């Protein structure tokens, strides 16, 4: 379509709206001098005749309105007055008017210049002449749920957002190229020479590897060139780009196609072209290390935290400037503590000076370097699972329970009456203050101790030794019961010696007595029934973290041996096994973990099972897990509508419903997991575990993690479990020290 045809269409519309007098002195006409080609089509501005022809500034419409004539269909759309805003279909007198309902992800992105893609339009609502909705609606069968709702990694900038939109089919190739010209990238540089390694630039292929943010730079790189893509497109020989946009997001763009887009749609934003260093390589850190060494009387200052930053990046995180500063302080304190003379001025708040608590073999607190939940202190191989996912799942479990304990087993109307129409919106007081861990988390910790103490890890060639595992589980549960007040003559291991675990948190006398009868194998003990069987799924999967470290019957055997110590109902065992198989996928060491709505169906496909218990599991997945892989509006599930909220499968189903579609909204997901009737504490815990497996500890709400009791202990035990089953096991590296920590009997 030529500009003249587009202007004629807008002129016809002005006459249709304003009548035949539109061309008179008091009317409106197209501003021919300011017509522009834009990505969506032609931008046709208009103003008053008095201003355009007579030069009367008092008659000017400001900002000047504009109509976009789309190509190739010729649809007329009113341009948004603000940059980045979305155009909307124009209205014609006497004709039905339907307003688009555009996916909020696209609305918030600020990509209005690229137009409104049909797959991003959820539907339309009919409006009257005054712009009021009439109640009539139409769904768009071509709509596709956005990447954030579908569980793609949450983008950190415009480039990652653009790539994600293209990934779900919201943008055409041309729209992607035009959008890329408005984005910037990072190119790795050598800190000393300021040059780019041949690994990132191939002269033979004229190919340049670029990254969407410093967080995604290769771990060994500590300096960068920050440049906009329009500048690269103007090179004499524009490089072909391999764009790394974060986990599971890559895009190849040729230099010629980007240069062609730049000629047609030049960048209007300020250019970006500068060099810099990552936080861990900033020069002022060396001065901080020197000043701290002088104050503490150290012979030499500690090294800059480049190693810590590299390890964090390998686990998908980047140390902030403040975290780098605290790492220097923490390393200095640890070196000072190694010296024989007394240490004056030891910090009371360990976190303020880069230290965090850890627990020794006697359950005593000793300081360690704070890693901010971004990397483990032991050098783990992450053979099968990612450390950040394992510790995230454990911390998320405890956090979810802390959120839900105050409303556990409440009816929804009681919950609303106590907390208001939105229910729980922050960590509520449970027991005596917000953030206290409960009995569910206590049991999770002792179940985890049980899998570490399983003798099969020491003698993998002896399959008969697996038969001892239920006895080990009983021993760990007896130690947990001891922390709750039950007598026990002999206790060993470090966990039972931690004073903070010797508190009653939620489990009543009847439940504790039932556990005691079962683990001591009292003749009259009847198996328990209920969702507490699900607690064992997470520690069970850790047995398969390394090569050949699992049971001969796989994770399913571990779950059975662990769960049936207390719960023997077929449905309870099936649900716990299903959850464990799901955790096997969710805890992947890969940079991207698929969302629950995808994994739940994959588990059913990969592990086909039969029987009444498994039929119930399949029905639960169908009821509680939406599907975002099709066109049309997804059916987000409400936790309150999944079962009664009390049984094992309803609790698990409500956790799935709470999280599915909210993987990138951690606070919302956790609150959805507890704001319903029924077993809110366990539902919240499972929601938090599945969420933490995706986002790690840094991805959980920081304001709540900071209040979470013993979150460093929880992280330490989860790390111990993964290290124990790693290829380079703690058992092999620490020998008797580890055996004293986790005795084998």
Assess contact for 452 and 490: CB atoms under 8 A: no
The candidate with the shortest Cα–Cα distance to 653, out of 692, 623, 616, 685, is 623
User: E strand or H helix at 682, and its extent?
Assistant: helix 680-699
pLDDT greater at residue 141 or residue 18: 141
pLDDT score recorded for residue 346: 62
> Could you report the per-residue pLDDT of 489-503, keeping only the tens digit for each?
999 999 999 999 999
Q: How large is the average pLDDT for residues 613-632? A: 93
Judge whether residue 671 has pLDDT over 90. yes
Q: State how far the alpha carbon of 340 is from the alpha carbons of 295, 335, 343, 347, 359, in Å.
A: 17, 11, 9, 18, 21
Out of 155-164, 243-252, 717-726, which region has the weakest mean confidence (pLDDT)? 243-252
Judge whether residue 722 has pLDDT over 70. yes
Assess contact for 294 and 332: CB atoms under 8 A: no
| C-alpha to C-alpha distance for 457 and 550, rounded to whole angstroms | 8
Find residue 38's DSSP bridge partners: 41
pLDDT score recorded for residue 1: 85
Assess contact for 685 and 397: CB atoms under 8 A: yes
pLDDT score recorded for residue 339: 84
Q: How large is the average pLDDT for residues 412-420? A: 96
> Could you report the per-residue pLDDT of 532-562, keeping only the tens digit for each?
999 999 999 999 999 999 999 999 999 999 9
Which option is the CATH number for 387-741: 1.10.4080.10, 3.40.50.170, 1.10.3470.10, 2.40.10.220? 1.10.4080.10
pLDDT score recorded for residue 112: 93
Going by pLDDT thresholds of 50, 70 and 90, the confidence category of residue 249 is confident
Strand, helix or coil for residue 45: strand
| C-alpha to C-alpha distance for 140 and 599, rounded to whole angstroms | 27
Q: Chain-wide mean pLDDT for the chain?
A: 93
pLDDT score recorded for residue 343: 64
H helical segments located in 439-529: 439-453, 469-483, 509-519
Judge whether residue 487 has pLDDT over 80. yes
pLDDT above 70: percentage of residues in the chain:
98
Q: How large is the average pLDDT for residues 161-184? A: 96
| C-alpha to C-alpha distance for 162 and 243, rounded to whole angstroms | 12
Sign of CA dihedral 646, 649, 655, 659: negative
Range with the largest mean pLDDT of 52-56, 117-121, 248-252: 117-121
Judge whether residue 342 has pLDDT over 80. no
Q: Token pair for residue 387?
A: 């450390």
Half-sphere exposure of 398 (CA within 13 A, CB side): 30
Going by pLDDT thresholds of 50, 70 and 90, the confidence category of residue 625 is very high
| C-alpha to C-alpha distance for 706 and 36, rounded to whole angstroms | 53
pLDDT score recorded for residue 454: 95
| C-alpha to C-alpha distance for 221 and 464, rounded to whole angstroms | 49
Judge whether residue 683 has pLDDT over 70. yes
Find residue 88's DSSP bridge partners: 78
| C-alpha to C-alpha distance for 153 and 65, rounded to whole angstroms | 37
> Could you report the per-residue pLDDT of 420-476, keeping only the tens digit for each?
999 999 999 999 999 999 999 999 999 999 999 999 988 766 668 999 999 999 999
Judge whether residue 733 has pLDDT over 70. yes
Q: Token pair for residue 552?
A: 């001969």
Find residue 123's DSSP bridge partners: 101, 139
Residue pointed to by tokens 């570490």: 452
> Could you report the per-residue pLDDT of 280-320, keeping only the tens digit for each?
999 999 999 999 999 999 999 999 999 999 999 999 999 99
pLDDT score recorded for residue 347: 62
Find residue 67's DSSP bridge partners: 44, 78
Going by pLDDT thresholds of 50, 70 and 90, the confidence category of residue 695 is very high
Q: How large is the average pLDDT for residues 183-212? A: 92
pLDDT score recorded for residue 745: 66
Strand, helix or coil for residue 188: strand
Q: How would you classify residue 702: left for phi > 0, otherwise alpha for psi between -120 and 50, otherwise beta? A: alpha
Out of 333-342, 380-389, 730-739, which region has the weakest mean confidence (pLDDT)? 333-342
Q: Token pair for residue 33?
A: 């001098």
Instruction: Render 304-348 in DSSP notation, one character per residue.
Output: PTHHHHHHHHHTT----HHHHHHHHHHHHHHHHHTSSS--TT--S
pLDDT score recorded for residue 354: 94
Spatial CB neighbours of 270, under 8 Å, sequence gap ≥ 6 = none
Find residue 188's DSSP bridge partners: 224
Altogether, the residues listed in the chain come to a count of: 745
| C-alpha to C-alpha distance for 316 and 374, rounded to whole angstroms | 8
User: What's the N-to-C CA distance of the chain in angstroms?
Assistant: 81
CATH 1.10.4080.10 occupies which residues in the chain? 387-741
pLDDT score recorded for residue 133: 86
Four-CA torsion 458, 464, 465, 471, nearest 10 degrees: 160
pLDDT score recorded for residue 85: 94
Give the distance from CA 188 to its chain's centroid.
26
pLDDT score recorded for residue 462: 67
Going by pLDDT thresholds of 50, 70 and 90, the confidence category of residue 191 is confident
Q: How large is the average pLDDT for residues 123-149? A: 90
Burial of 85 (0-12, 13-18, 19+ CB in 10 A): middle
Assess contact for 68 and 38: CB atoms under 8 A: yes
φ, ψ of residue 134 in degrees (nearest 5): -95, -10
Assess contact for 709 and 437: CB atoms under 8 A: yes
């Amino acid at each position: 379509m030529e500009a003249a045809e587009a202007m004629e269409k807008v002129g016809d519309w002005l006459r249709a709206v304003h009548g035949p007098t539109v061309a008179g002195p008091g009317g409106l006409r197209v501003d021919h001098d300011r017509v522009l080609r834009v990505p969506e089509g032609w931008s046709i501005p208009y103003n008053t005749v008095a201003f355009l022809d007579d030069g009367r500034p008092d008659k000017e419409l400001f900002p000047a309105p504009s109509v976009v004539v789309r190509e190739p269909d010729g649809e007329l759309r009113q341009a948004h007055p603000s940059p980045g805003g979305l155009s909307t279909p124009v209205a014609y007198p006497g004709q039905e008017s339907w307003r688009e309902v555009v996916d909020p992800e696209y609305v918030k992105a600020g990509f209005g210049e690229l137009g409104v893609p049909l797959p991003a339009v959820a539907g339309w609502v009919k409006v009257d002449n005054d712009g009021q909705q009439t109640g009539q609606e139409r769904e768009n069968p071509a709509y596709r749920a956005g990447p954030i709702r579908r569980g793609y990694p949450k983008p950190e900038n415009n480039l990652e957002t653009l790539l994600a939109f293209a990934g779900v089919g919201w943008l055409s190739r041309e729209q992607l190229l035009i959008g890329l010209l408005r984005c910037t990238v990072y190119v790795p540089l050598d800190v000393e020479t300021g040059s780019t390694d041949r690994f990132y630039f191939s002269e033979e292929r004229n190919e340049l590897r670029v990254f969407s943010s410093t967080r995604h730079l290769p771990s060994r790189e500590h300096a960068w060139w920050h440049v906009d893509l329009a500048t690269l497109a103007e090179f004499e020989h524009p490089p072909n780009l391999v764009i790394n946009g974060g986990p599971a997001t890559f895009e190849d763009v040729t230099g010629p196609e980007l240069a062609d887009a730049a000629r047609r749609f030049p960048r209007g934003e300020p250019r970006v072209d500068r060099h810099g260093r990552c936080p861990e390589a900033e020069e002022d850190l060396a001065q901080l290390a020197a000043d701290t060494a002088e104050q503490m009387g150290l012979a030499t200052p500690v090294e800059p935290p480049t190693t810590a930053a590299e390890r964090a990046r390998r686990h998908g995180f980047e140390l902030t400037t403040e975290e780098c500063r605290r790492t220097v302080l923490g390393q200095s304190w640890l070196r000072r503590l190694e010296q024989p003379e007394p240490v004056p001025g030891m910090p009371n708040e360990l976190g303020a000076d880069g230290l965090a608590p850890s627990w020794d073999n006697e359950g005593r607190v000793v300081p360690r370097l704070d890693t901010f939940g971004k990397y483990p202190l032991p050098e783990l191989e992450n053979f099968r699972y990612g450390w950040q996912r394992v510790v995230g799942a454990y911390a998320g479990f405890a956090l979810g329970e802390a959120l839900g304990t105050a409303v556990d087993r409440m009816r929804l109307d009681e919950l609303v009456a106590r907390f208001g129409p939105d229910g729980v919106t922050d960590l509520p007081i449970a027991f005596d203050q917000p953030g206290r861990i409960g009995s569910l988390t206590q049991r999770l910790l002792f179940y985890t101790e049980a899998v570490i103490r399983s003798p099969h890890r020491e003698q993998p060639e002896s399959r008969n030794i697996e038969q001892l595992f239920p006895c080990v589980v009983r021993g760990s549960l007896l130690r947990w019961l001891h922390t709750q007040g039950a007598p026990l003559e002999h206790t060993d291991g470090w966990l039972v010696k931690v004073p903070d675990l010797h508190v009653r948190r939620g489990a009543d006398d009847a439940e504790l007595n039932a556990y005691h009868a079962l683990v001591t194998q009292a003749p009259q003990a009847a198996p328990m029934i209920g969702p507490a069987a699900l607690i064992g799924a997470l520690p069970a999967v850790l047995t398969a973290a390394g090569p050949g470290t699992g049971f001969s019957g796989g994770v399913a055997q571990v779950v059975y041996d662990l769960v049936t110590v207390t719960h023997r109902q077929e449905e309870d065992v099936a649900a716990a096994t299903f959850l464990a198989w799901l955790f096997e996928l969710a805890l992947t060491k890969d940079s991207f973990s698929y969302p629950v709505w995808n994994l739940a169906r994959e588990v059913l496909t990969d592990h086909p099972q039969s029987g009444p218990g498994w039929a119930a599991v399949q029905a639960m997945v169908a009821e509680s897990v939406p599907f975002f892989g099709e066109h049309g509006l997804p059916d987000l599930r409400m936790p309150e509508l999944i079962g009664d909220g009390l049984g094992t499968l309803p609790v698990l189903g409500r956790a799935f419903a709470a999280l599915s579609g909210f993987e990138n909204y951690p606070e919302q997901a956790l609150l959805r997991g507890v704001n319903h009737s029924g077993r809110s504490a366990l539902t919240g815990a499972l929601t938090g575990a599945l969420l933490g497996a995706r986002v790690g500890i840094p991805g959980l709400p920081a304001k709540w993690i900071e209040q979470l009791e013993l979150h460093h202990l929880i992280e330490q035990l989860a790390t111990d479990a993964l290290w124990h089953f790693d290829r380079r096991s703690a058992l092999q590296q620490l020998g008797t020290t580890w055996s004293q920590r986790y005795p084998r009997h």
